[in-house]
């Protein structure tokens, strides 16, 4: 058995994986990988032009939670199973969401600016999370971690997912277009934590934003294209909502002439909500476990598609 691993993400930890699996061939050289049975790569590498070079391939493990650029039907036609890293990044992303909410609520960016000019003065309208309603659009591993942590603030948590299924830490689950509208209408904080699909593309547009409370915050840690960005800019300029905290935009990097850079009701971060000194440890543990599962024909973790032998 042979496995190809893109070692650029693992750096010096690549050898740790090799040391754990001395009975199989592991390579990080692309030119020596085309007879591999499995590969560990970024989603950008999972394109037909590349995968066609692997006649023996039956398993792909991507390092990321997102996989929206991958042609799942093509993999299914090749009987190739795809796994993602959805549980690796949930904890730091959940903490990042809370940081963004508190930064808005406690006027942290404005007080930091005041320090630069040595200006002493109170700012009005410092909000509380307590007794508010938080709507989480996407009840996957990230949405669940966010809900778990926000419960400590004594909030009402409602979620949106494709099917009617209750979930721990959520007080109510909505589904369907009417359900999404109800969540938007009720929520003081709307958190986008769902994958980018044909259904979620531009899910949040001007019509949806106008349903939200004027005092509501929109937090997007999903994908930039889930929000129709021009509509969001228009809504923020006209104060249809209190503000937006965006870890994802489109395109990325955000062009310097985008109005999002200068609006005072926007908090931008450069798609790094997953950043943590512990993320790589979690990724390594997961990769080793899933590779062991693959080699020993055990149940794989985080299967995305229904292909596979």
Query: One of 271, 282, 285, 297 is an active-site residue; which one?
Result: 271
237 annotated active-site: no
Could you give the CA distance from residue 289 to residue 20 in angstroms, rounded to a whole number? 10
Half-sphere exposure of 93 (CA within 13 A, CB side): 27
223 annotated active-site: yes
Encode 240-282 in three state secondary structure: CCCEEEECCCCCCCCCCCCHHHCCCCEEECCCCCCCCCCHHHH
193 and 222 Cβ atoms separated by less than 8 Å? yes
Could you give the CA distance from residue 39 to residue 61 in angstroms, rounded to a whole number? 6
135 and 160 Cβ atoms separated by less than 8 Å? yes
Strand spans (E) along 113-184: 133-137, 156-160, 172-174
Query: One of 252, 282, 285, 297 is an active-site residue; which one?
Result: 252
Rounded alpha-carbon distances, angstroms, from residue 157 to 49, 143, 191, 304: 44, 11, 11, 27
239 annotated active-site: no
Nearest to 57 by CA among 42, 71, 44, 46: 46
Query: One of 223, 237, 282, 297 is an active-site residue; which one?
Result: 223
State the catalytic residues: 223, 252, 271
């Amino acid at each position: 058995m042979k496995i190809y691993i893109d070692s650029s993400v693992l750096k010096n930890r690549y050898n740790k994986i090799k040391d754990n699996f001395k009975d199989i061939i592991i390579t990080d050289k692309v030119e020596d990988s085309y007879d591999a049975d499995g590969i560990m790569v970024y989603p950008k590498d999972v394109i037909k032009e590349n995968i066609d070079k692997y006649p023996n391939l039956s398993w792909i493990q991507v390092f990321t939670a997102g996989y929206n650029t991958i042609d799942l039907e093509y993999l299914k036609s090749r009987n190739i199973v795809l796994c993602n890293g959805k549980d690796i990044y949930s904890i730091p992303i959940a903490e990042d969401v809370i940081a963004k909410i508190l930064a808005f609520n406690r006027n942290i960016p404005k007080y930091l600016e005041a320090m630069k000019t040595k200006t002493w003065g109170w700012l009005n309208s410092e909000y509380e999370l307590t007794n508010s309603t938080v709507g989480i659009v996407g009840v996957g591993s990230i949405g669940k971690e966010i809900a778990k942590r926000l419960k400590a603030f004594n909030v009402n948590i409602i979620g949106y997912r494709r099917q009617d299924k209750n979930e721990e830490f959520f007080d109510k689950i909505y589904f369907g277009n009417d359900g999404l509208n109800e969540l938007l209408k009720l929520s003081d904080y709307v958190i986008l934590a769902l994958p980018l699909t044909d259904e979620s593309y531009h899910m949040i547009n001007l019509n949806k934003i106008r349903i939200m409370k004027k005092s509501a915050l929109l937090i997007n840690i999903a994908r930039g294209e889930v929000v129709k960005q021009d509509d969001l800019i228009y809504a923020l300029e006209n104060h249809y909502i209190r503000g937006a905290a965006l870890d994802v935009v489109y395109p990325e990097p955000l062009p310097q002439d985008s109005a999002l850079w200068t609006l005072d009701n926007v908090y931008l971060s450069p798609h790094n909500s997953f950043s943590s000194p512990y993320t790589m440890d979690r990724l390594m543990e997961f990769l080793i476990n899933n590779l062991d599962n693959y080699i020993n024909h055990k149940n794989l973790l985080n299967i995305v598609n229904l292909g596979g032998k």
